[in-house]
Chains A and B, each alone.
Chain A
Amino acid sequence: MINFYPWFRLDSLNAFIVLAIGLFSLLVIVYSARFRFIRRRIALQYYICIILTALASIITVLANNLILLLVCWGFLGLTLYLLINLGDVGSETAAKKTFIIVGGSDAFLLLGIAIIYHLTDSLQMDQIKIYLDARPLSLSVIAYLCIAVACFAKAGAMPFHSWIPDCAESAPVPVVAYLPASLDKLLGIYLLVRFSLDLFVMNEAMNTLLMVIGAFTIVAAVMMALIQHNIKRLLGYHAVSQVGYMVLGIGTGSPLGIAGGIFHMLNHAIYKSCLFLTVGNIEAKTGTVDLARLGGLAKSMPFTYISCLVASLSISGVPPFNGFFSKWMIYQELIQKINIRQWSVVSLACLVAAMFGSGLTLASFMKLMHATFLGQRANKSTSQQSKDVAWTMWLPCIILAVICIIFGIFASQIPLRYFILPAIGKIDFIGIWYPGLSTLLIIVGLLVGIIIFKFKDIKPIWRQDKSFTGAETQDYKLQRISGTDFYNTIKELGVLKTIYKKAEAGTFDIYEQGKTLIFTIGRIFQYLHNGVLPTYLVWGLLGMLGLFLVLLR
């Protein structure tokens, strides 16, 4: 038997991630079989990239050597870039932005690893233990920050998140479901956990920083998600927002919180890829992802509807689905922390942010569900056929939705017991939550509700009439109110209005700001390169003068 040890290491933390990578790869490949790509003749390239991505991800997760990890990690950026490029016209801009942010952050990972090598003289991950220095700009802190930058960019935490919405909007849907929604999250958060738990010994300041970043990400991204009209973009912002919970959980620095963060990572990958795949179905069926132009698809796409509903409830943290359980673990940890004096303010703020974010997530998914599946039909003629999409396209969604339910109801029996706890160790819950019993009660409650509803023969009471606006009567059947309009109010609220305007103009986007800065400097340099020979000669001579000053001192 070959001994893989110094290069690879399988432990309880990365074992289930490898499993998850395998599952997602399989589902995405099944899904892609019938997916129609915009550009022709790319199937081969597509599958090569998907398989290479899966391989590189598995090696990254299993790697025990920092250089090996770095090589595969960086290579994933390239495959992501190539995969996004397979999208529609306009995907090249998103691909460029994505790769600049992701690939650029890889350069920082390289720097971080170089510093670690300098500090410990070792590249073997299981032999490294670095104590974070208390001083703000010591080498260990820089190393940790560099690695955190790479993790944040990959997973999409703020402020390196801005590629995710763009990428979600223009890349092919299976690619989005595969990489930014699931694999990149798994990898980014895995690396963060690996470094925070095993390679570094965290200190309080760094934990607080992580918590604040996490909490901020949750709220800011979900606020952006609320006002989106494009489903893909909306989901993209949610993909950012959910990372906040994971980072927040890891930032708490205690077993319960970290376990919650990791569990949330796994859950998120499941329901978010499910959501993206359902969006792919919607797009395949109707040809649009604009919320204002969709509606009433529940009847014609039952499987898609059900899986999307389950996934939406999961992401919003509605019990008994899996998203609730992991969020609840993080909340518990935060509540526990409030009692500790030096943590109380931060924890309280983070708890409020996390719960608030969860509420807003629900709000924005209500909008999504209403506008796409419920509500009035947008266009009678296109939705005439009552057939759902091909089975290869809805089956992965259903499988993921079922996993959402199982992981929610049997959370402590299956995922925590087999995947999370072996990696983290024993954790103590402070709250009591029996998902099985609660589910039972919820089902009973629903049944009772239905019985009462039927028994008392309650009919929904509404009155439909012609409206009279602008001195004209209009037939209500011709008028259609899409779900999106309700949320426009948020956009117009006082301070939020300016913030939203700036956000949409890219003021908070590190990429746009960096671009402006670099081009400004570039213009100054270009001004100096005026193409006149004497100027150039003068520079050369000035340079030589400088050399004389230095050397002949």
Chain B
Amino acid sequence: MANIVPFFTIIPLFTAFAISLLGRIFKNAFIHTLSIVSQFILLVLSLLSSVLLHRFVDGKILVYKIGGWIPPFGICMVLDGLSSFMLVTVNLLAFFVAIYSLNYMNKYTDKPKFFTLFFLMLTGMNGVIVTGDLFNLYVFLEIASIAGYALVAFGTEAEELEASFKYAVMGSVASAFIFIGIAFLYGFVSTLNMADMARILGTKTNQWVLPFVSALFFMGFGLKAALVPFHAWLPDAHPSAPASISAMLSGVLIKALGIYALARILFNIFGILPVYSKILMFLGALSMLVAVVLALSQWDLKRLLAYHSISQIGYIALGIGLGTPLGILGGLYHLFNHSIFKSLLFLNSGAIDYAINSRDLKDMSGLRERMPITYHTNLIASMSIAGIPPFNGFFSKLIIIIACIQSGYITYAIAAVVGSLLTLASFMKVQKFAFLGELKEKYRDAKEVPLAMQLSMVVLSIICITGGLLLLPSLRYFLDNAVNVLLDGSNYANRVLETALK
């Protein structure tokens, strides 16, 4: 069964190549079909693997050895609860974003290039998630990042190029630090396999290199995840990209490249120390508050959403940083929820942009009459991100706050509550200025967006409403398996190595 693991990288990589090779020759219909089909296969595969993993695999872990080489000699790919959770999140979102892009990308030229880059980014993300080798992780991380730089600049206007340049420079700095970190670690343990690393680190008594490396990783992955104070590239980069890409960047890229990689390394390789927890929580709480205050004073819709991404990443970092079962559950659950509602919000902003060609909140008004679908889905997403029951964001925030108090961090709990209040305030602003009020004369004949775009917005909003059901006992395994992987800590090494040798 382990043979399905590499397909998560093979399928998107193949699609990317096929589109770039054949896209010029065939019509758009071919690109559309190919993209949707391969994305659909990925989605089914990830859902299937999640169910199979839970039901039929003992130990809930699959290890694929590339070329049959057993670790630590060869590269291996690992699919455990956490990877499977992330894969479902990423591919679910990518599927709907791909559907959305079919119509939305008509605004731009050169669809083949777009889909090529899109699938390359997906390759990178899926690769980061399933790989079991630290250097391999770095390679996939770079694939996703570079595709990301290109996609941010996709509009090739001055603003987009500037944002892309900033993103590229800062992203490269982060990558460089991650690379140095990996080099140091390699020098210390003489292996690159993550499981083997964890095993060897466990045997060493003097782990002098860890504080140094972890600082580098915090900075590098923290920048990829856009935690304050490493966040400054995000408010420029995310708004400049096409809306569907903003949805991918804010929805899953910062989490797969930043939070997931950091959590995997800190929890499963290093073994979480109190000091790492404290740093993660502090950065999380800081991001939560600083970014939401900044978001409140924005008038560019997409920029406002971008700041909220930083703020919400703060919640995730806070939850995971707590390190308690409930905290990690809240963090991961919020990760899933955030990826849904934030991408929905970006898709909404894209729909508005598509219909009236503006992103300025001051410029729009009363759009609910002309764009009812966008209005209602945006309302649902806004309520979700603001943590209004019974939408999904409420439940994850609830869990995070309860977890904070249970661990005795009442200040962080209060910060989370204040952040939630300010988030609500800023989405009230979006609702008021974009959708409510009187319709402006010049938008009298603005049209609702095409069907494919509506479809993905509606489905995502349905997930927002029903997201709370993931906490039901029969569906909890999806989250619990992921939580258990992180709670397992360095025991990850034994599980991977044992499974690989079987």
Interface residues of A (CB under 8 A from B): 67, 70-75, 77-78, 85, 89, 92-93, 95-96, 99-100, 103-104, 106-108, 110-111, 114-115, 117-118, 139, 142, 518-519, 521-523, 525-526, 529, 531, 533, 535-537, 539-540, 542-544, 547-548, 550-552
Contact = CB atoms under 8 A, between A and B. Distances in A.
Contact of B166 (A142, A525, A526, A533): A533
B388 interface: yes
A543 B230 contact: yes
A74 B410 contact: no
Contacts, number: 151
Please report whether the interface of chain B is mostly helix, strand, loop or mixed according to DSSP: helix
Nearest 9 interchain pairs by C-beta = A92-B436, A536-B232, A522-B297, A104-B421, A74-B389, A71-B389, A551-B211, A544-B219, A543-B229
A218 to B, nearest CB: 28
A75 B431 CA distance: 17
B336 interface: no
B399 to A, nearest CB: 9
Contacts of A115: 405, 410
B425 A540 contact: no
Interface stretch (B254-262, B349-357, B390-398): B390-398
A96 B232 contact: no
A544 B174 CA distance: 11
Contacts of B174: 540
- Chain A CB within 10 Å — which of B212, B235, B297, B397 has the most? B297
Interface string B154-190: 0000000000011001100110010000000000000
B215 A70 contact: no
A108 B212 contact: no
Contacts of A548: 212, 215
B99 interface: no
A330 B398 CA distance: 38
Interface string B404-435: 11100010011001101110110011011000
B347 to A, nearest CB: 21
B236 interface: yes
A110 B397 contact: yes
Nearest to B422: A518
A551 B405 CA distance: 25
Given A93-B432, A100-B425, A547-B215, A107 B387 contact: yes
Nearest to A517: B293
B293 A518 contact: yes
Contact of A114 (B216, B296, B394, B398): B398
B297 A89 contact: no
A100 B427 CA distance: 10
B436 A551 contact: no
A526 B402 contact: no
B397 A103 contact: no
Contacts of A533: 165-166, 169-170
Contacts of B294: 522, 525-526, 529
7 contacts: A92-B436, A100-B424, A100-B428, A108-B417, A110-B397, A117-B405, A548-B215
Given A70-B389, A95-B432, A544-B215, 10 more contacts: A78-B388, A92-B437, A99-B428, A114-B405, A118-B402, A537-B170, A539-B229, A542-B229, A544-B216, A548-B212
Given A93-B432, A118-B402, A537-B173, A526 B297 contact: yes
A430 B212 CA distance: 76
A525 B402 contact: no
B170 A551 contact: no
Given A74-B394, A75-B390, A531-B236, A96 B431 contact: yes
B388 to A, nearest CB: 5
Contact of A67 (B233, B398, B431): B398
B118 interface: no
A536 B437 contact: no
B219 A543 contact: yes
Contact of B296 (A99, A142, A522, A531): A522
A550 B219 CA distance: 13
B277 to A, nearest CB: 12
Contact of B293 (A78, A106, A142, A521): A521
B170 A540 contact: yes
B417 A75 contact: no
Contact of B421 (A78, A85, A107): A107
A89 B369 CA distance: 13
Contact of A110 (B166, B211, B401): B401
Nearest to A72: B389
Nearest to A139: B410
Contacts of A540: 170, 173-174, 219, 223, 229-230, 232
A552 B229 CA distance: 19
Contact of A142 (B236, B290, B390, B410): B410
A112 B223 CA distance: 34
Contact of B424 (A104, A521, A529, A537): A104
Given A111-B413, A139-B410, A547-B279, A103 B219 contact: no
Contacts of B232: 529, 535-536, 539-540
Contact of A544 (B169, B177, B390, B414): B177
A103 B428 CA distance: 10
A519 B215 contact: no
Given A74-B389, A77-B388, A542-B229, A114 B279 contact: no
A139 B296 CA distance: 31
B275 interface: yes
B218 interface: yes
A80 to B, nearest CB: 11
B344 interface: no
A516 to B, nearest CB: 12
Contact of A111 (B165, B414, B431): B414
A75 B212 CA distance: 48
Given A518-B296, A522-B293, A107 B420 contact: yes
Nearest to A547: B215
B394 A537 contact: no
A95 B432 CA distance: 9
B386 interface: yes
- Chain A CB within 10 Å — which of B211, B389, B414 has the most? B389
Nearest to A534: B169
B283 to A, nearest CB: 9
A92 B369 CA distance: 14
Given A89-B437, A107-B417, A540-B219, A74 B297 contact: no
A551 B398 contact: no
Contacts of B177: 544
A525 B219 contact: no
A92 B375 CA distance: 14
Given A71-B394, A529-B235, A103 B275 contact: no
A75 B214 CA distance: 43
Contacts of B404: 114
Contacts of B275: 550-551
B383 interface: yes
B424 A103 contact: yes
A402 B410 CA distance: 50
Nearest to A93: B432
B438 interface: yes
Contacts of B166: 533, 536
Nearest to B418: A107
Contact of B297 (A103, A523, A550): A523
B76 to A, nearest CB: 30
Contacts of A117: 402, 405
A496 B165 CA distance: 59
Contacts of A118: 402, 405-406
Nearest to A99: B428
Contacts of B437: 89, 92
Interface in B242-300: 275, 279, 290, 293-294, 296-297
A289 B414 CA distance: 42
Interface in B131-163: none
B428 A96 contact: yes
Nearest to A67: B398
